[in-house]
Structure 1
């Protein structure tokens, strides 16, 4: 039975915790923020046939922010493209489930990971489909930080100029990138007006709200048939790490994975408490009894953004030049305490 978008989004998040925990892989914050977008696409929007992944009548989908690839792997497995059990091989040597999205997996149309390429490829696919008189649509999910790439805006210009109205781009606008918030890294606002100026239909929503997402995709279909025939972009405002309180809006979880102990136990316990009806936790069916809790010595609830943690005086406080025999007098960064 096909899962509801709410069920699929929960499973994507639960698989993400397990996959990154087992593999020591990164980017769980991005996986959690994009989970609702991916779930609604696979439950309610995209036409696909799991038994025929190369079916010509399928809609095409590209996750341009390929570092959040575990979200797609989970969605594909839960949609019947390959066994759910294979998700445990994420990041393993010889696995098809590489850290960034790989087209070697059934259901993946384009390998991604090097940011800025997905929209260009998607626009090309959509343009080719349109020129061939076909009716399939192309959906591309980008990161907001990814939109610093010039190639994104070249693709945007092309899509508008050639009225590529069979493409819908979705920006997972979780407002964080790399080491900080977007505006502290390289400002992208006013984001809505930028896309409008490039000739796109623009819809801005709460990207963690399934009703908003469904309405936006329905509106995108209507806009595509209007006389302007413009491409459409959905700016989906999301929360990085959404679904686990201590991961939310903490840039640490762009790189960190849930370690054994309070990190894993806490994430599983929080997700289990919000589990929708009629689905089972595939890893801890009854939750975790007596989960390990963080102590006041654990790194939780702290601001890890670059703009907060960077102290330009730090290197000078820690540096001492030592003429160490055999070291050629090179600089060593050591604690000044004796």
Structure 2
């Protein structure tokens, strides 16, 4: 693999896994593709490059149902191979539909939403006390922000001045059963997180340049405040008939929809390539 973490390639891998395993949560993975690509490409310190390297930065996917996006990045790193992808949800596979800490490369077992951030806060606190220089990046969903445990973790992180913690909110506007606005409206998350003691800012979660700039700035900040990025994203980004269609949260691919989705991603990728030349 090239380790380029090209978003189109990552989305193709997600589709390949979802079709092979006849499984769901495609659109939840699509919305965090660029976030993960930029983190793995430019910001995560991976030590010797093995999944459990000593001194590595921690990437906590609290939004555990988006794990196929992380698996796609792990394929780029060579931590997963083509057979792992083709056998997703098959007999004997270790790869599950939610993040599981038993899989090397995944830091937490999550999917019971609201708990992963607390684990990440603990990791950041441990690294801070050891003086190891390790950073923790925790990705949560905006629907997950409904959980009280999230806000307890946020209060704890601010109290202990965990400026090695970066919280990234995938604000795609939906959760399993509907729009976040309708189910429990949290208003302006940047303002709320700032009020809770974080340095907070919003960014287009699909703009790799903007994400890279924000993350670079954060890495050089040590002002005693944890950091928060509210990433404005599109659920299902990259495939038009999935975008902002919350029914795809639990919809499985057919042969026809798989072919249509791949064709659209390939066409967009080719067009973007032409524009860059």
State the TM-score, normalizing by the size of structure 1. 0.77
The answer to whether 1:110 aligns with 2:108 is: yes
Choose which of 245, 249, 258 in structure 2 pairs with 1:250.
245
The answer to whether 1:232 aligns with 2:218 is: no
Match of 2:264 in 1: 270
Match of 2:140 in 1: 142
Alignment size in residue pairs: 272
Match of 1:197 in 2: 195
Deviation at 1:253, TM superposition (A): 0.9
For 1:287-302, what aligned pairs fall within 5 Å after superposition? none
Deviation at 1:94, TM superposition (A): 2.4
The answer to whether 1:29 aligns with 2:23 is: no
Deviation at 1:49, TM superposition (A): 4.5
State how far apart, in whole Å, the 1-side matches of 2:4 and 2:270 are.
10
Aligned-CA RMSD value: 1.7
Match of 1:188 in 2: 186
- Name the structure with the higher helix share: 2
Deviation at 1:114, TM superposition (A): 0.8
Structure 1 or 2, whichever has the larger Rg, is 1
State how far apart, in whole Å, the 1-side matches of 2:229 and 2:135 are.
15
Match of 2:3 in 1: 3
Deviation at 1:179, TM superposition (A): 2.0
Bigger shift: 182-191 or 243-252?
182-191
Match of 1:288 in 2: none
Deviation at 1:107, TM superposition (A): 1.1
Cα deviation digits, residues 169-225 of structure 1 (max 9, x gap) = 1011101111211101111112111101100000210001101110110121233x1
State how far apart, in whole Å, the 1-side matches of 2:46 and 2:8 are.
21
State how far apart, in whole Å, the 2-side matches of 1:145 and 1:127 are.
25
SS at match of 2:50: coil
Match of 2:211 in 1: 213
CA contact (8 A) 1:130 1:166 kept: yes
CA contact (8 A) 2:8 2:266 kept: no
Deviation at 1:87, TM superposition (A): 1.1
SS at match of 1:247: coil
SS at match of 2:138: strand
Cα deviation digits, residues 61-105 of structure 1 (max 9, x gap) = 111110111111111111121313311222223211111012222
SS at match of 2:230: strand
Bigger shift: 73-82 or 48-57?
48-57
